A and B are shown apart, each in its own frame.
Chain A
Amino acid sequence: MMMNMVSALNSALDTIMQENKNAVILGEDVGKDGGVFRVTDGLYSKYGERRVIDTPLAESGIIGTSIGMALSGLRPIAECQFAGFMLLGFSQLINHAARYRTRTRGTMKLPMIVRTPVSGGVKTLEHHSDSPEAYYAHIGGLIVVEPSTPYDAKGLMIKAAHMDDPVIFLEPTKLYRLFKQEVPEKSYEVEIGKAEIVHPGDGLSIITWGTMVQTVKNSVEKMGVDAEIIDLRTINPMDEETIIKSVKKTGRAMIVHEASLSFGAGAEVAARIAEKAIFELSAPVLRVASPSLPYPYPGYENFYIPNEKKVMEAIDKIMKE
């Protein structure tokens, strides 16, 4: 069935709720309203208020309550309405979700998912467009996933619901309805911790994720360059093997992400390439990202987010090295 990312995620959540009677969805406006982006649309009427729970408006409460639920045999799937608002629950994720399993030496588990829309490009208000993958990935203990296609969104969500780990599920707002794709109606998994080569090539490796996958694909197609595009899909734990294998083959590495440049997840990718493949490189690693600034108000977002021109100029530069 042709689905956009919203309908694919909705189908995934429906599948999870059917498969597991202990799965519950909670968050602000996830019930009757079906979520502000309609990702949980129809689930309230199908599963009832016992399982699709409109909570008070408090992110730490939503995430902290989910932690308690997960510790006690439920599988909560929490929604935080926007990445900026989710920071009110940051302490719960870092102080508890990330470390509960190891601090009990594996005797207590947190099978939970926290979903949130991320990144910009859709002219939203302030604090609605952040790309937070690096901070959640940094602590260790949180699995951080960010799909760029409807197919991956559904498969990764179902896989996350089959794991006993806290999973931060980042959904690029811009991709929610950007395009449709054939997505199976049945249950299927996409492996977590595994990147995908979305475009094979021998002359350059471009490691990217989220909103930038489309931008990179378009840029590569327009230039006709022989680039291998890797959609990371899982930010943490990172699929280093796929990255290093590709870079050793192509000898050139470029990283493209929407999050701001400094201390971004791209630095982690670049460091791993430096550690394991530096002598195979024929050009310095190049990062393309938003400037090292807080995300601007939308009047300025076109000056902020890397566009195809910026990506193409970078490709041009690295291919000339």
Chain B
Amino acid sequence: MISKAYEGSVDYMQILDEKGNADESLIPKELDGQKIVSMYKFMSFARALDAKVLSLQRQGRAVTYAPLIGEEATQIGSAMAMGEHDLFVPNFRQHGVYLVRGLPLDTFMLYWKGYEEGNRDIAKIGGFPYNVPVATQMPHATGVAFAQKYRGTGASVVAYVGDGGTSEGDFYEGINFAGALGVPLVVIIENNGWAISEPRNRQTKAQTLAQKAIAAGIAGIQVDGNDVFAVYKATRDAIANSKNGPTIIECVTYRMSMHTTADDPAKYRSDADVEAWKSKDPIARLKSYLVRKGLWNEALENAMAADQLKKIDEAVEKAEAFVPDPKNMFETVYSYMPQTLKEEEDAAVAADYWKGE
């Protein structure tokens, strides 16, 4: 006898299409005009900030940077769905999430100028620092979520990982632990189509990344990652349901720029690929929607852009005034200062070979 041992399927959700037409019946009620305008402003802000850091990097004023352009709906939609007490665990590209959660801009800039002092304020906004080794943050997110459940805080945890990250062992270990331990976790797979030079289809034969949830016995859904309403709704619903266990949300978006400033996409993908995605731009489609609703116009656009640039410039100026102190490296490693490390610190601080660095 052979029977079906398991039958599963994965839903796909889109609310706001490429042209800016929305399925109003699916837009969550709390998304009023003001909140949607706020989404639009954050998405625009994220893109403006992205362009600024990119430009600073090209001038040698910022470290290697991972641009977010194209992925604003995935980041802003999910971040705005979080409650004030919910927590998030990023990889290295969720600049928009930090923005929504209120990380001071100069602090953000400090990190991208190469100073870990930029991580000092992250706990205050319910977040964790960037995680560069791909997918290693996934078990952390599970542990953070476990702690919320254990301590009865009522908070949920939103973790971010890329399409390439879903191939890592830590991705699977993280979601599998999350399911086994029944923790309040929401995993956003920011599927931007590329892991540096490798397209999504090199990562796995699986038809969707969301279906990896099935292996862990948890909920999974795929959404249009350039549709801020769909990302918002999926995240909000998953958070609301998180006391019953974790959910994976695969957000299908596109990396419009390079992986980081250290690579040149011209080597491995065609302009035609990128062009095809331009018509699906998350900001343009939301703008069309808002303009049609009479909630937005060019005067508001210009005022917003000027205000955002001013804030960014002020933050850059503040971050560039930062003076690093080598003592900060030594004194925050252990809960106490070991004598041997103290000797190294004293020697380093007394040395003059890095004066002016």
Contact = CB atoms under 8 A, between A and B. Distances in A.
A1 to B, nearest CB: 31
Q: How large is the interface on A (under 10, 10 to 19, 20 to 34, 35 or more residues)?
A: 35 or more
B123 interface: yes
A41 interface: no
Contact of A96 (B136, B176, B335): B136
Contact of A64 (B121, B128, B143, B334): B143
Interface stretch (A32-40, A102-110, A245-253, A298-306): A102-110
Interface in A60-82: 60-61, 63-74, 76
Interface in B131-182: 131, 133, 136, 138-148, 150-151, 169-170, 173-174, 176-177, 180-181
A105 B117 contact: yes
B339 interface: yes
Contacts of B129: 103-104, 108
Contacts of A58: 169, 173, 176-177
The interface residues of chain B, by DSSP majority, are classed as helix
A61 B120 contact: no
Contacts of A56: 173, 176-177, 180
Given A58-B177, A61-B177, A91-B133, A104 B140 contact: no
B146 A69 contact: yes
A22 B136 CA distance: 24
Most chain B CB within a 10 A radius of its CB, from A56, A63, A143: A56
Given A72-B144, A193-B338, A64 B170 contact: yes
A68 B335 contact: no
B119 interface: yes
B174 A74 contact: no
A240 B339 contact: yes
B328 interface: yes
B304 interface: no
A67 B139 contact: yes
A214 interface: no
Contacts of B329: 102
Interface of A: 22, 24, 50, 53, 55-56, 58, 60-61, 63-74, 76, 91-92, 95-96, 101-109, 140-141, 143, 163-165, 193, 237-238, 240-241, 272
Pairs A-B, 6 closest by C-beta atoms: A68-B143, A64-B139, A237-B338, A72-B147, A61-B173, A106-B332
